[in-house]
């Protein structure tokens, strides 16, 4: 696998996307995949709370199957712009990256892979005619508000920032109380909250799911505490194109296997382990069948 820096212009006045183009060995044109991660993530999927290490793991797995990939630092991930960037800006960046990747002479058909809210953008791009295939990892199929409220049932105060824990203890409130209050503020478009949170809470993916015609592989872990695995049934129901859904045993939202009882308190240990290699292989194998049947 060969890697090179690749910058992409988004729009006038905006900072270009900085990312890594990974090319498999051999001559092109190569089928390719745009990788889209969640939250305040860099090109590897790493966020301030921890290093997920999704980017290189997926790029290497795809390259082994003859598929190129592009992964980029999410806009504003490392500076103060983050609070002011919403769903529209992140979708525009993903669209620009997809267009630039597909325009390269050494690239053939292009697919998308997304994780969590990155999967929502992958799904949105898959409604376009020039996307050959889409992989949705831990993709919500209900409104952002419902995702937050449902996942909050499993939260403890340990899932909240340290400052919030003390504040809740002094007021006798639970983590669930805090999540409900935050969701209500986001629905009311409280400018003190990050714009992406406000946009996500008010976003419902149903309309875009119903517009996807490209083949879809949707995978969610049976032990995902953030996205309900039951959303896979809704994806299968709403997507009109060819769709394969699978609830992956023992897989968590961090795309690691955990044989024990699922708990957010175990996330720190999970991040010391690699992304599940079986998941990477399944994604790469399916994409090779969709994008380049001759690649074996």
Say what percent of the chain tops pLDDT 90.
58
Verify that 71 and 152 share a domain, yes or no: no
Number of domains within the chain: 2
Report pLDDT for 221.
96
What DSSP designation does 29 have? P
Report pLDDT for 81.
85
Verify that 259 and 194 share a domain, yes or no: no
What are the pLDDT digits (tens) for 183-200?
888 888 889 988 888 999
Q: Which of 92, 94, 114, 110 is nearest to 102 (CA)?
A: 110
Verify that 238 and 190 share a domain, yes or no: no
Identify the domain boundary among 188, 203, 218: 203
For residue 117, give the H/E element and its range: helix 117-126
Verify that 244 and 126 share a domain, yes or no: yes
Q: Which of 233, 224, 274 is nearest to 251 (CA)?
A: 224
What are the pLDDT digits (tens) for 268-296?
888 889 999 999 999 999 999 999 764 44
> What is the mean predicted confidence (pLDDT) over 105-130?
93
Task: Tell me the β-bridge partners of 122.
Answer: none
Verify that 248 and 284 share a domain, yes or no: yes
Q: How confident is the model at residue 170 (pLDDT cuts 50, 70, 90)?
A: low
What DSSP designation does 128 have? S
> What is the mean predicted confidence (pLDDT) over 46-73?
94
Structural domain boundaries, residue 117: 2-141+205-291
Domain of 129: which CATH number?
A: 3.40.50.1820
Report pLDDT for 61.
97
Identify the domain boundary among 203, 222, 249: 203
Q: How confident is the model at residue 171 (pLDDT cuts 50, 70, 90)?
A: low
Verify that 243 and 118 share a domain, yes or no: yes
Verify that 166 and 23 share a domain, yes or no: no
What DSSP designation does 16 have? P
Verify that 22 and 108 share a domain, yes or no: yes
Identify the domain boundary among 203, 222, 240: 203
Flag whether the pTM goes above 0.85: yes
> What is the mean predicted confidence (pLDDT) over 49-65?
94
Verify that 22 and 114 share a domain, yes or no: yes
Verify that 18 and 136 share a domain, yes or no: yes
Query: Which tops the pLDDT comparison, 132 or 14?
Result: 132
Report pLDDT for 30.
95
Report pLDDT for 296.
42
**CA quadruple 282, 286, 287, 288: dihedral sign:** positive
Report pLDDT for 186.
84
Write down the mean pLDDT value for the chain: 88
- Tell me, yes or no, whether 157 lies in a domain: yes
Burial of 254 (0-12, 13-18, 19+ CB in 10 A): buried
Report pLDDT for 295.
45
Q: Which two tokens stand for residue 166?
A: 């003390």
Verify that 45 and 83 share a domain, yes or no: yes
> What is the mean predicted confidence (pLDDT) over 1-13?
79
Verify that 132 and 158 share a domain, yes or no: no
Interstrand relation of 107-115 and 134-137 (parallel, antiparallel or unpaired): parallel
């Amino acid at each position: 696998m060969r890697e090179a820096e690749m910058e992409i212009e988004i729009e006038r006045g905006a900072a270009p996307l900085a990312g890594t183009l990974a090319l498999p060995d051999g001559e092109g044109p190569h089928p390719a995949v745009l990788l889209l991660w969640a939250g305040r993530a860099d090109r590897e999927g790493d966020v301030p709370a921890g290093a997920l290490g999704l980017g290189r793991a997926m790029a290497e797995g795809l390259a082994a199957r003859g598929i190129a990939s592009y992964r980029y630092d999410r806009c504003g991930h490392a500076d103060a712009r983050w609070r002011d960037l919403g769903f529209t800006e992140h979708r525009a960046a993903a669209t620009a990256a997809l267009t630039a990747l597909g325009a390269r002479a050494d690239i053939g058909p292009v697919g998308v892979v997304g994780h969590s809210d990155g999967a929502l953008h992958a799904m949105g791009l898959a409604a376009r005619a020039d996307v050959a295939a889409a992989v949705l990892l831990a993709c919500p199929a209900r409104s952002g508000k419902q995702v937050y409220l449902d996942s909050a049932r499993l939260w403890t105060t340990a899932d909240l920032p340290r400052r919030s824990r003390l504040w809740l203890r002094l007021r006798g409130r639970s983590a669930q109380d805090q999540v409900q209050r935050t969701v209500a503020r986001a629905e009311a478009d409280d400018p003190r909250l990050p714009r992406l949170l406000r946009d996500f809470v008010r976003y419902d993916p149903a309309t875009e799911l119903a517009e996807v015609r490209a083949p879809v592989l949707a995978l969610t872990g049976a032990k995902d505490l953030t996205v309900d695995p039951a959303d896979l049934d809704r994806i299968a129901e709403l997507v009109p194109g060819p769709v394969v859904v699978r609830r992956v045993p023992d897989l968590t939202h961090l795309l690691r296997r955990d044989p024990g009882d699922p708990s957010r308190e175990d996330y720190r240990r999970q991040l010391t382990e690699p992304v599940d290699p079986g998941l990477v292989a399944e994604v790469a194998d399916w994409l090779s069948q969709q994008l380049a049947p001759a690649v074996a």
